[in-house]
Chain A
C-alpha cells in the first residue's frame, strides 16, 4: 500500500450516510471507488512526462489512496458547472475503512469491498451547509487525501520507503518526514515511538484525533484522549466506542468533567507519554506544546486556515510559522509544534 502526502486524487464519493450527531454537526460517510474509475486522473498519470509516482502506481484499478490521521479531503460544495461556491472546502478524515482495516464507525453500512470515508462536519457557512443538506445517494467531487498527517510512520513504512533500512526515498516528502522525525527529540522514527500517545482535542479538533485513536487501537498502542467540548450537544458520540482512556470535558459541565481540555492537560503526567498529538483552539495547542516541551516530549499540532487550491499552488492558506511561512495544505496541516509556536 502506498500512502500519499499532497498528491491526492480526484474521486467521486457517493454519500451513504448523513446523520446529525450534534448541534449543526453531521457525520457524513462516502463510498469511494478504485482509482481505475478515475479517468481524468489516470489520463494525466499515463501521459504526464513528470507525473507523480505515487498516483501513477495507483492508476490501474488499484485501491483508492487511503488517508491516515490528520490528512484531509478537499470537497466541491456546489454542482459541477455552478459558479457559486467556487472554492473547495477542506475536511479532515474521521475514519477510513475497506482497505486492510475494518470499519469502526457504523460498520453495518458497509457491503462487499466498499471503501468508505467518514467525516464529521460542523456547519460553518454556505459550503458546509450545502454539503450537510445532501441526501444519501448524492455524488460529491472530492480531492484527496491531501496534506501531511500525524507521524504514523507505519503508514509510510508500508509504502516501502526504507525507514528502517536507511534507504533514501525518491519521494521528497518522505525524505522530509524521515529527517523531521529523526531530528525530533525522542522522535517518532519508528513505530515504537507511538507506544503511549497523549491526544488532546478541542471542539472539532476531535476529528483527526478520533481517527488517530482508532489507528492506535488497530496497532495495539496505548493512548489517553483528552477531549474538550463547549457543551453536550457538540460532543461526538463515537467517543463512547473508543477502547482507550478517554477523558471528556465540557465548558458547561453537561457531560464529563466541567472544564476545558487544557484543564485535562494539567491533570496528566506528561512524562508517561512518548508523543502528544493535538488539534483544536490555538491557545489549547500552545498549552499542550509548552507542557510537552517541558518534559522533552514531542508535540504535533494540526492547523486550519482559509484555503484555496489545497495542493500547495496558490499560497492562500499560508500562516506565519516560528521561522518561516507554512503552507497549511501541503506542508501541513500537521506540524511539529515548534515549527509554529515560538
Chain B
C-alpha cells in the first residue's frame, strides 16, 4: 500500500504508479477545513532518513469527496482516506462526509499521531482515553472499516492500540513519523520551518517493527505496518512481525517505482522463508532457540 502523505491526495501519482498492481493507496490526511500547513523549509534529509513538517496541508474533506475520490473509483486498488482534526467532532464529521464515498472507499484511517500540528494529532494519540474517545465518535459516524494510525512516541503503544480496538477500530496502522529535531550548527537554527518534524525512512524501521510485533502479539488485530520500507525484504520482515499489509511512504520520494518493485519481488522473498503465501507468514516471528 502507499502510505498516507507521500502519495499525495491521490491524482498526481497516477502517471507514475500503476495502482491496479498495488494493494491500496492511503490518501493524505484531510481535515474538516482546508489547511495551509507549515512554513518552509518542510523537509530535511538525515542519514538513512528524512524529517518532514508539512503540517497536514490539505484542501479539506469536502474537496476530497467532491473532486478526488470519485476519480479514483477505477484505479484498481483499495482506496483508504485518512482523517485528522483538532477536536473529536472534527474527526467524526470528516468520517461522516467520507461515508458518502463508501462505494469507492475501502476504509478510513484515523490519524491521531501527526507530530507536526499544534493541536490534535499526536496530542490525541499519546493518551489511550483520548484515542478511545475519538475512535468511538468516528465509529458512530461511519460504517466503513477503521484503521487507527498510532505514534511510536508513547510510553505504551499496546495500551493505545487496545483502546482504539476496543472503541471500534477494525485494525491499526503503524507507525507515524517520530517527533525529531535537526539543527544547522553554524546558524544555530532549526533545519525546519516548524522547528521540529517527523522522522521517517530506514532509520525508524526497527522502531516500527517492534511496535507492529508488540501490538500484534497483544491484540491479533489486522495491522497495516510501515516505517522505512524500502524493498521487498523490509515488507516481508514487517509481515513476520505481524503486519497483514505493508505501507510505503518515504521510499516514494526517492523512487515512485519502488512499490511496484516490492510487489514483483514479494513472492521470491516469501519463498525464501519457506512459506508460499502472505497469510502463512503474518505474525510468525519465531522465538524458539533452534537455528533452522
What is A's interface to B at a CB cutoff of 8 Å? 6-7, 10, 40-41, 43-44, 47-52, 54-55, 76, 81, 83-88, 127, 141, 143, 305-320, 325, 330
Q: Mark B17-39, 1 if CB is under 8 A from A, else 0.
A: 11111000000100000001101
With A49-B76, A50-B75, A83-B201 known to touch, is A314 a contact of B5 (CB < 8 Å)?
yes
What is B's interface to A at a CB cutoff of 8 Å? 5-8, 12-21, 28, 36-37, 39-45, 47-50, 52, 54, 57, 74-76, 201-202, 230-231, 250, 252-257, 260
Instruction: List, in ascending order, chain A residues with CB within 8 A of B45's CB.
Output: 85-87, 127
Judge whether A313 and B39 touch: CB under 8 Å.
no
Interface majority SS (helix, strand, loop, mixed), chain A: loop
Minimum distance in angstroms from A74 CB to a CB of chain B: 10
Minimum distance in angstroms from B155 CB to a CB of chain A: 29
Judge whether A306 and B43 touch: CB under 8 Å.
yes
Judge whether B41 and A305 touch: CB under 8 Å.
yes
Instruction: List, in ascending order, chain A residues with CB within 8 A of B14's CB.
Output: 48, 50-52
Complex Cα distance, B57 from A318, in Å, reads: 10
Complex Cα distance, B42 from A316, in Å, reads: 5
Minimum distance in angstroms from B196 CB to a CB of chain A: 15
Minimum distance in angstroms from B189 CB to a CB of chain A: 14
Partner of B253, one of A55, A84, A314: A314
Instruction: List, in ascending order, chain B residues with CB within 8 A of A307's CB.
Output: 43
Judge whether B253 and A87 touch: CB under 8 Å.
yes
Instruction: List, in ascending order, chain B residues with CB within 8 A of A312's CB.
Output: 8, 12
The 8 closest A-B pairs by CB, nearest first: A52-B15, A313-B8, A316-B43, A7-B15, A306-B41, A312-B12, A83-B202, A308-B253
Judge whether B17 and A314 touch: CB under 8 Å.
no
Partner of B42, one of A52, A83, A318: A318
Judge whether A315 and B201 touch: CB under 8 Å.
no
Judge whether A306 and B44 touch: CB under 8 Å.
yes
Partner of A87, one of B28, B50, B76, B202: B50
Complex Cα distance, B256 from A6, in Å, reads: 14
Complex Cα distance, B94 from A334, in Å, reads: 35
Judge whether A44 and B260 touch: CB under 8 Å.
yes
Partner of A308, one of B17, B50, B230, B255: B50
Nearest neighbor of A324 in chain B, beta-carbon distance: B36
Question: Would you list 19 pairs from A and B whose C-beta atoms are within 8 A, ordered by A residue?
Answer: A7-B15, A47-B18, A47-B21, A48-B15, A48-B18, A49-B74, A51-B14, A51-B15, A55-B15, A83-B202, A86-B50, A86-B201, A306-B40, A306-B41, A308-B50, A314-B43, A314-B253, A325-B36, A325-B57
The interface centre, meaning the residue of B39, B45, B47 with most chain A CB atoms within 10 A of its CB, is: B45
Complex Cα distance, B43 from A86, in Å, reads: 12
Judge whether B48 and A315 touch: CB under 8 Å.
no
Judge whether B42 and A40 touch: CB under 8 Å.
no
Interface majority SS (helix, strand, loop, mixed), chain B: loop
Complex Cα distance, B28 from A318, in Å, reads: 15
Instruction: List, in ascending order, chain B residues with CB within 8 A of A85's CB.
Output: 45
Instruction: List, in ascending order, chain A residues with CB within 8 A of B231's CB.
Output: 81
Complex Cα distance, B221 from A229, in Å, reads: 61
With A49-B20, A308-B253, A325-B37 known to touch, is A314 a contact of B8 (CB < 8 Å)?
yes
Nearest neighbor of A328 in chain B, beta-carbon distance: B40
Complex Cα distance, B18 from A55, in Å, reads: 13
Judge whether A330 and B12 touch: CB under 8 Å.
yes
Instruction: List, in ascending order, chain A residues with CB within 8 A of B74's CB.
Output: 49-50
Instruction: List, in ascending order, chain A residues with CB within 8 A of B6's CB.
Output: 308-309, 313-314
Instruction: List, in ascending order, chain B residues with CB within 8 A of A309's CB.
Output: 6, 252-253, 256
Judge whether B40 and A319 touch: CB under 8 Å.
yes
Instruction: List, in ascending order, chain B residues with CB within 8 A of A40's CB.
Output: 257, 260
With A44-B18, A49-B75, A311-B12 known to touch, is A84 a contact of B48 (CB < 8 Å)?
yes
Judge whether B257 and A10 touch: CB under 8 Å.
yes
Judge whether A315 and B28 touch: CB under 8 Å.
yes
With A83-B201, A312-B12, A325-B57 known to touch, is A320 a contact of B40 (CB < 8 Å)?
yes
Partner of B54, one of A55, A84, A315: A315
Complex Cα distance, B64 from A233, in Å, reads: 51
Minimum distance in angstroms from B93 CB to a CB of chain A: 23
Complex Cα distance, B64 from A297, in Å, reads: 38
Judge whether A44 and B253 touch: CB under 8 Å.
no
The interface centre, meaning the residue of A7, A10, A86, A87 with most chain B CB atoms within 10 A of its CB, is: A86
Complex Cα distance, B17 from A22, in Å, reads: 39
Judge whether A76 and B52 touch: CB under 8 Å.
no
Other CB < 8 Å A-B pairs besides A44-B15, A315-B8, 6 of them?
A: A51-B15, A52-B15, A86-B253, A306-B43, A311-B16, A320-B40
Judge whether B254 and A86 touch: CB under 8 Å.
yes
Complex Cα distance, B50 from A87, in Å, reads: 8
Complex Cα distance, B20 from A319, in Å, reads: 33
